[in-house]
Amino acid sequence: MNLISLGQSDLKVTPICLGTMTFGEQVSQQTSHAILDRSLERGVNFVDTAEMYAVPTRKETAGATETIIGNWFESHPGVRNRVVLASKVAGPTRATPWIREGTGMTAADIIASCEGSLKRLKTDVIDLYQIHWPERHVPAFGLTYYEPRKETTTTPILEQLLALAQLVKAGKVRYIGLSNETPYGVHEFVKFAEQLGLPRVVSVQNPYSLLNRTWENAMDESCHRLGVSLLAYSPLGYGLLSGKYDQSGTTGPDAPAEARLTMFESMRKQRWGRKESWETGKLYNQLARDNGLTPTQMALAFCYTKWQVASTILGVTTVAQLDEDIDIWGTQLSPEVLKEIDAIRKQHRDPAQ
């Protein structure tokens, strides 16, 4: 894997990123450290986390993932300099009142969150600091439409950007990014950065998979023209594109007991738990098998080879899963398979958007 630059920055990352939201909930610290070790051994230099992790989010485990990563840095002298570390500040009003209550996300909120993350991560600087979701009301996390009547924003984008700029100036953050964003949000952050000489966002972390290609509806052109990179999360659709739920669904007698959609009812109530997501996932999985591929191979190869994707974020619970996912790097999908993929999307669109 060749290193790539994120956006218009000199931040060099691998096109595979290790996602860590399972650390501290499904995955113990010991196994988390083994996964981190193996990831680095396999050449992956990019690690993504967030202040609200582990997931599903709970007051008892908020910050646990960052603490586990910080303990790994502490127990492995010198390893911090080999890793590009990304974390995220939680937005408001999304089932995380122990982090931030109500509406708004002030400059003070952002700075305090960063300070907390630095302490837990046991580092002096975060290489890529992202806003986890917009302070605005946006169509994300299963919402399809923007509804002005539901708008509750109280913190201007400029105020948020100025706070991030303060962190960059202080040397606590190298570069900034967004997550779960829309074209409007990206354009506003870039506009203010260019007008006022403030830090420019280098990336957006949004869902992208066979079950959710909404990035291609407008975000791809916006970010391509603005020079902002996509970090694709949930490339396996919370496991729906691995084939493991095909027979019994998420709650049937043969459902994988330790898989997240089986374990956590709260996740089954989200976009990944929709009947249409499961049914469409099975169509893609069968297409893979019909063409001599595993479902995981086809789903990840799709993300790995799309021009829109700078780096694909992998969420795993074992070292074996990590190895399987990295081994798929280099797999090419035939024009015929890509045509069939597009045919399924044309009929079923984006069920997990």
| Active site members | 53
Say how far apart CA 135 and CA 106 lie, in whole Å: 9
8 Å CB contact between 4 and 12: yes
List C-alpha distances in Å: 343 to 281, 287, 293. Answer: 14, 11, 18
Start-end of H helices in the chain = 29-41, 64-75, 107-121, 157-169, 183-196, 219-226, 260-263, 265-268, 275-290, 295-305, 319-327, 335-348
Contacts of residue 258, Cβ cutoff 8 Å, sequence gap at least 6? 26, 317
8 Å CB contact between 298 and 334: no
8 Å CB contact between 260 and 22: yes
Contacts of residue 11, Cβ cutoff 8 Å, sequence gap at least 6? 5, 84, 127, 128, 174, 175, 202
8 Å CB contact between 187 and 193: no
And the tokens for 312?
């694909």
List C-alpha distances in Å: 48 to 23, 129, 349. Answer: 11, 10, 28
β-bridge partners, 179: 205
Residue whose pair of structure tokens reads 């790995």 in the numeric block: 304
Q: Phi, psi (5° rounding) for residue 127?
A: -70, -40
- Per DSSP, the residues of 169-224 read HTTSEEEEEEES--HHHHHHHHHHHHHHTPPPEEEEEEE-BTTB-GGGGTHHHHHH
